[in-house]
Copies of this chain bind each other. A is one copy, B any other.
Amino acid sequence: MADLTGADVRRSALTGADVTGADVTGADVTGADVTGVDVAGWSCPMPLRDYPRIVLGHGGGGTLSAELVEHLFLPAFAAAGTVPPCPDTTLAPPGRGSAAPDTDPASVDAAVVEVGGARLAFTTDSYVVRPLFFPGGSIGELAVHGTVNDLACRGARPVALSCGFILEEGLELAVLDRVARAMGAAAASCGVRLVTGDTKVVERGRCDGLYVNTSGIGLVPAGVDVRPGRVRPGDRIVLSGPIGEHGIAVLSVREGLEFGGDDVRSDTAPLHGLVAAMLAASTTGVHAIRDPTRGGLATALVEIAAAAGVGVEFTESAVPVPPAVEAACGFLGLDPLHVANEGRLVAFVADADTDTVLAAMRAHPAGTGATVIGTVTAGHPGLVAARTAFGSTRVVDRPLGEHLPRIC
């Protein structure tokens, strides 16, 4: 099979599923030269699911990622009563093994385990963003904020992080130093410590400069119980600020594009302070929190709807999208709902507590743009519906695979 590099094939606007990497047809997707692609050979998106090799979409946080978890990792780990690796998701079958697992079968972002009487949140993420530096941040800030935010989404107070570097032979030490300083500064500003680490080096051409994994542990305060299983019909859906900036910022510098005259900067930021303020306003009224990273807001809403067995309805026009993000998405055929964020959260809050929580969010620097975007319903469980500007309703799904490979 010919290896046709440089084919950017996007043909599934109807489903919102862009296919950005598909060895199945012999088409690689970095770059944008379509010369020589046998488009007739494509029948996306279905064949990807049956293809016996990893495609970029398996890392996108969408449907393919979920299938990888369900059909490969979950069975493989079943013997240990363990949990699959899944983008920003932790699935812990209850009651087996030596640790007390979270009882929610589809908890998000971090697992909660009881150790020595303490309720610990525990999470991991690897960061492979390309390029390493982008407007508003770098892989260093991302690696700290992303893992801190995963802990925060369980209501935990972040305590300590690990960092594991994989370095490519030939990487400039000055680049590594810049990344490490960004991590140190970000950790300091979050009040967390990088307490343990590891460094591996691989041969030139076996990495892309550097990858870094951060894992984190946090303490879940007494009385705090934030997870999808607590979401109930009637809950209000609160978004902490405008969406799409991280994904577009990375894309713009990667592809050398400018959108709408404004530089779009990544929104990368820690959210644990905001979460603490929300929980201080209402410890029990904050039912679930999710940071909509890979797969964007759409994926966060779909996964919580599915996990909680509820319907989600929101108003498209209520979701703040910066003009430059909107312009870029229009140009690129992307749905802002699918674009990654690294400093936003979406919360599901008891109706009676929404005003209090919203006020607390707006009073916090990370939540000045907080706004109610929708409501949880008992109807259409597992489905997310958006009321459009035209007054119609459309079903919102997560992307099949990967809009923007290596966005985090």
Q: Report the interface size for chain A: residues with CB under 8 A from the other chain.
A: 105
Kindly state whether residue A183 has any CB partner on chain B within 8 Å.
yes
Kindly state whether residue A226 has any CB partner on chain B within 8 Å.
no
Give the B-binding residues of A (Cβ under 8 A).
21, 23, 28, 30, 52-60, 65, 68-69, 72-73, 76-88, 90, 92, 96-99, 101, 110-111, 113, 115-120, 122-128, 159-160, 162-174, 176-177, 180-181, 183-188, 191-208, 211, 213, 215, 217, 219, 402, 405-406
Chain B neighbourhood of A405, CB < 8 A: 201-203
> Are B195's CB and A82's CB within 8 A?
yes
> Are B117's CB and A85's CB within 8 A?
no
Chain B neighbourhood of A201, CB < 8 A: 21, 54-60, 402, 405
User: Told that A28-B203, A122-B195, A200-B406 touch, could you supply 17 new A-B pairs with CB distance under 8 A?
Assistant: A21-B201, A59-B202, A73-B180, A76-B177, A76-B183, A77-B180, A80-B188, A80-B193, A81-B193, A86-B197, A90-B196, A97-B192, A113-B195, A115-B219, A120-B217, A124-B163, A125-B198
For residue A65, give the distance in angstroms from its CB to the closest CB of chain B.
6
> Are B21's CB and A169's CB within 8 A?
yes
Closest B residue to A221 by CB, please name it.
B116
> Are A77's CB and B208's CB within 8 A?
no
For residue A210, give the distance in angstroms from its CB to the closest CB of chain B.
8
Closest B residue to A178 by CB, please name it.
B76
> Are A117's CB and B120's CB within 8 A?
no
Contact of A202 among B69, B128, B171, B195 (CB under 8 A): B128
For residue A408, give the distance in angstroms from its CB to the closest CB of chain B.
8
> What is the CA–CA distance of A188 and B83 in the complex, to the nearest angstrom?
12
> Are B80's CB and A194's CB within 8 A?
yes
> Are A196's CB and B52's CB within 8 A?
no
> What is the CA–CA distance of A58 and B169 in the complex, to the nearest angstrom?
9
> What is the CA–CA distance of A101 and B192 in the complex, to the nearest angstrom?
11
Q: A58-B167, A193-B101, A213-B164 are in contact. Are A126 and B83 (CB under 8 A)?
A: no
Closest B residue to A125 by CB, please name it.
B198
Contact of A126 among B57, B84, B183, B200 (CB under 8 A): B200
> Are A79's CB and B184's CB within 8 A?
yes
Chain B neighbourhood of A117, CB < 8 A: 116-118
Among A117, A127, A200, A211: residue with most chain B CB under 10 A: A200
> What is the CA–CA distance of A186 and B80 in the complex, to the nearest angstrom?
8
